[in-house]
Amino acid sequence: MDSNSVLLVPVPALFSFQECIWFLNRNYDDCLHVIEGDVIFKAIEIEGNAILFGVKESGNFLEVEIIMGEAGRKERDYLTAYVREWFDMERNVQPFYDLLIKDQRLAYMADEYKGLRLIGISNLFEAICWCIIGQQINLSFAYKLKRRLVERYGSQIACHGKSYYIFPTAEVLACASVEDLKAMQFSEKKAQYTIGIARAFHEGSLDKDKIASLPDLVSRKKALTDFKGIGVWTANYALMKSLKEPECIPHGDIGLLNALSHHNIISDRKEQPKIDALFSTFVGWQSYLVFYLWRSLAVKELI
């Protein structure tokens, strides 16, 4: 094994790779990573260079191995930063746990989900497309649509008889036709929105760095919702997952409402004051609370 192809990323306190990898492997057919045992394999593109890498736990480190592609200093530095962002390893989550244990309804999460981090989607374009794909359909069907889109328009790395896919670039999807996406069972609106957003990213009117440079969450949300196909829910989700905004609440999310109901925080989905009261006690950690509430909907014993 070439020492240049292996990176060791120190894990922070309150971090569990097992919790993170379990969350990524919840019986959904995600075409953008492959999990085998305790190793997660993923393909990404670094300045036009396709890289296949694997991540596994190794003592107090995550061991990141570059399996295919360049393994120069630039790629190693990029991958180290990518993995740390993907698993939100830069954040000290102790203050969030301190808030959890103060609420009897939620305190169990600090033990049962200990070390789970807010799993990111580094590519803002991908995060927004995923939101558009998933609108008003169940998760299983959403993953099927994503696979069709990725296999048709994305790039791939073939290794040992398996294909590892990379999400399509905005440039490629900008040239797709509405009819082609409809043939994959996209609704006409979803097809139009996906292509429109792709064109916005390709032309530069939408850009992750530009969004991140805006002064506050309100302006970042507005910059996204100004584009057709991006509603408030999508803006909250994309900012939470891609820019790791700490204060996003995707109000109206069915999963979130179900989780709040299961924890006896609300008895009716219209009880907004009760929802607001809960989140007011988690200022600065609203996104994490949403993520943990989503996590509570999945039961390990059933997987």
* Alpha-carbon span 242 to 174, nearest angstrom: 21
**Which of 156, 158, 132, 128 has the alpha carbon at shortest distance from 145?**
132
- The answer to whether residues 27 and 303 touch, using CB atoms and an 8 Å cutoff, is yes
Q: Would you please indicate which residues are annotated as catalytic (active-site) residues?
A: 253
- The answer to whether residues 211 and 193 touch, using CB atoms and an 8 Å cutoff, is no
CB-hemisphere CA count at 13 Å for 14?
18
User: CA–CA distance from 141 to each of 30, 177, 301 (Å)?
Assistant: 11, 21, 23
Give me Rg for the CA atoms of the chain. Answer: 19
> Which of helix, strand or coil describes residue 145?
helix
Residue with tokens 């040239």: 175
User: CA–CA distance from 90 to each of 13, 72, 93, 145 (Å)?
Assistant: 10, 24, 9, 32
**Exposed/middle/buried for residue 299 (C-beta within 10 Å: 0-12, 13-18, 19+):** exposed
